[in-house]
Structure formats: structure tokens, C-alpha cells
Amino acid sequence: MTLHDRAAAGYFLEDDISSSTDLSVTLPKNHFPSREHNPRAVFAAIRDELMLDGNSRQNLATFCLTWVEDEVHALMDLCIDKNIEDKDEYPQTAEIEARCARMVADLWHAPSVDDAIGCSTTGSSEAAKLAGLAMKRRWGAQRKQQGQPSDRPNLVTGPLQICWHKFCRYWDIELREIPMQPDQLILSPEAALRYCDENTIGVVPTLGVTFTGQYEPVQALAAALDGLQARTGLDIPIHVDAASGGFLAPFCAPDLVWDFRLPRVRSINASGHKFGLAPLGVGWVLWRQSRDLPEEMVFWVNYLGSNRRDLTLNFSRPGGQVVCQYYNFLRLGREGYRKVHAACYATAQYLARVIAKLGPFEILFGGEDQAGIPALCWMKREGSAVNFNLYALADRLRVHGWQVPAYSLPAHCEGITVQRILVRHGVSRDLADLLLENIRQSLDVFASHPGHHALSEATASGFHH
């Protein structure tokens, strides 16, 4: 005869979760729990803590996607137990990754889709490190062949994302980051040439600079390096950090030449979870031709009786992000990506026009689709007699739930403070109007409190690049 414990059943089915025994005490935070807890109670507690993170849709600092379709959620659920690195166990997921790599090679105008080589990564930072390591290995092999020392490699860049600082530090490479100038906030070909020498493993322009959103001039840089080779014999490759622009320019600026149409571009990285519209956790790195990837970086994995290349820095990771990337490629195609991103550009340009008319702001970049990503960046207008700075405005907007970062530019422009908005998929015109209304309300608060104190970067801003 089956025995039923009414009290136990009532605990799970009838008790109000907030008055349950498990939630009447503080849950463990520093020591491993000694006993089990009710799953409903634990879920409720963690859900409440996550509420304090704020609303990701109002996070206008992040480049990462914060809105996905229901079908993407469903595909992520289907792939939650699939390790994409286990290619023998999950051969179809591996095949989907290979399809995506070929599609990206086609998108970036590789001379031959079959000869281009690439892979998915956890994000564009890992992809950048792999591309950087390939540059270092190629340069080292060339120096060895010439009988020259290879102990002092350097990398020439404009203002760039912190992953490149990590790469250079971890692999003992001198980073020659060309300082910003007030009248030149992005890399210029002329400046890049001044920093290049026989120890330069490559030059890295950014298609969508973190600080301002602008595209750096890849085609002009390639022409300058062609001229340098003609004069000196130095053959210095380009790697394009297209973390943001790699899934924007092909659709919204198709005539902009920045990719494998330029023979000097040997590799490109991009983030699938930014403007590739995939969920967080996927990036892409591609090399122009298989010979551009040093063979010693490749591990061969046998699956289904055939060998497949593996070259990531990480190992175990879920396959859902790559599967969802494939879903978006099929779901949207060139037409759909163009529509989605064109709407983002239109909203960014709308915000730039309105913010410029508010009075105290000067737009540095207004979201032009031929010149950068769908973002806008502004500074306080010189001579504007206001009692606040951009850190105070960012802090005030947090009251309304918005995260609109204010930060100082890198060397040699540390004295310039800017504020930036990223317009991603899901930032609608209506949402933009709500933000603008909150900006106007913030300006009214500052005007009605003349004793308001300006804030510093340390006290107001939690944003780092």
C-alpha cells in the first residue's frame, strides 16, 4: 500500500513561497551549503537577485545582443547539453559550424570559400587572439628563414579593445598603440607607417572603434602598406578587428572595401553575438587562405572517419550559440540583416539629431552607416555654461534605468570626456523617445539645482573598455 505524506506534499504544492522555511533565512553566500533546499525557493531567491542587475534592454553601453526571437530560445534549449568541441558525438553541430564559416567567408569576399579557413570561438576576443597568434607565428617563421632574430615582435594598432592588450601581454609582444589626437580619433595610414618596422607582425585596424563607433580606413591603410613594401621590401599583413562592423558593413555599406577584397587583409575576426544577432557566446575568425594559418596551430580531430581542424583556445562550450547563428543566417539572409541594421542606423541618427539640438552637446559621431556602426558619441560643447558634466548625466540617467556610459578617451586625449549610445536590434524609435524624454528631464533637474556638483569618472562611471 502506498503511503502519502500530506505535510510534505503540502509544502511543495500549497505553501506560499515567500513564507517558506528556506526563504525565512539568508541563503548561503560564502560557505558550501550543508543541506538541500527546496528548488522553488532557491529559484525564487536567485531570480530576485538577478532583478538587481537592471534591465538589459536599457543597457545602451553594451555591444552585445539583448533581444532574441522565441525560436532562438527554443534552439538554445535543444543544444544545452551539446558540447560543440565533441565533434564525433555531435557531428551535425560540427557541420553547422562549418556551414557558418563558409557563409562568413562568402560574406567577407574570400577569394575561394573552399580555401578560406576559420572557426567559431567564444567571442571576438578569443578570435582576435587566435588571429594575433597566427601573425606572430608567420612573422617568426619568416624571420627564421631569413636568419634574423625573432625575439622582439611588435603589433601596430589604433585605439583598440582591451583584448589586444591582453594578447600582447600574454604572448610577449610590444603593443604600439598609436595615441589619439583631438583632431584624429582613429588610426591614420600615415601614423601607422611611422610605427612599422621589420619586427612588426601586423597592423590591426578596427571596423567600429570601441570609443567612438567609427570605422578605421582599412583600404587606405592597405594602400599605404603596399607602398611601404614597394619602397622597403617589408611585407606587413593586416588583420581587421571587425568585432562590430563585420556583420554591419556587408549589408549596409557593401561598397566599402575593408575585407578580403584587399589582398593584404589576411585575417578577420567578428562577434556573432553583437551585430551577428546570435546569443551571447559566439565569435568568428577567418583567414583569407589556408596557407595564412600556420599548420602548427591546428589540431586534427577525427570524427566519422574523417579529420577536421580544431584550433580554438578553449575546449568545452555549448553548441547553441553557433546553431542560433546558423538560424539567423537562414532566417534573415542578406535582406533581413540589411533591414534590421538599417533600422538601427536610422534610430542612431535620429538620436544624434535630437541630442545635438538640446544645446550643450557636440556630436563626434552620429551613426552614419558608411563611416561606422549604429552608435552615437558626443562631448560637452566647448564653452557651454552648464553646471554638470557627462558623468553626472550618466549617473542621473541610471535613476531611470538607463546605462549610457561616460568615459575619458585614451592617451593622448584623456582630457576629453565623451558619452556613447549603442543602438542594437530591439532599440526601437519609441524606446529612443523615452530615453530622450529622460535626458530632457535630467537637464531640467540640473537647471533647477544650480548647486549640483559634477561627478568624477571614479565616483560615477562603472564602464571600462
3-state secondary structure 251-283: HHCCCCCCCCCCCCEEEEEEECCCCCCCCCCCE
pLDDT at 310: 77
Low-confidence ranges of the chain (pLDDT < 50): 6, 8-11, 465
What global pTM score does this model have?
0.93
CA 124-130-134 angle, to 5 degrees, is 140
CA 200 to chain centre: 26
Q: What are phi and psi of 168, to 5 degrees?
A: -65, -35
Domain extents in the chain: 6-53, 73-328, 342-460
Q: What are phi and psi of 125, to 5 degrees?
A: -70, -45
Number of other residues whose CB lies within 10 A of the CB of residue 236: 21
Task: Round to whole Å and give the CA distance between 245 and 233.
Answer: 31
Q: What does the block give as the cell for 78?
A: 535543444
* Strand partners of residue 417: 408
Closest CA to 302 of 88, 82, 85: 88
pLDDT at 9: 45
What's the burial of 274, exposed, middle or buried (CB within 10 Å: 0-12/13-18/19+)?
buried
Q: What's at 228, amino acid-wise?
A: L
pLDDT at 10: 44
* CATH code for the structural domain at 342-460: 3.90.1150.160
pLDDT at 88: 81
pLDDT at 36: 92
* CATH code for the structural domain at 73-328: 3.40.640.10
Give yes or no for a contact between 195 and 176, defined as CB atoms under 8 angstroms apart.
yes
Give yes or no for a contact between 396 and 439, defined as CB atoms under 8 angstroms apart.
no
Give yes or no for a contact between 118 and 285, defined as CB atoms under 8 angstroms apart.
yes
pLDDT at 71: 98
Closest CA to 212 of 285, 157, 270, 158: 158
Give yes or no for a contact between 293 and 134, defined as CB atoms under 8 angstroms apart.
yes
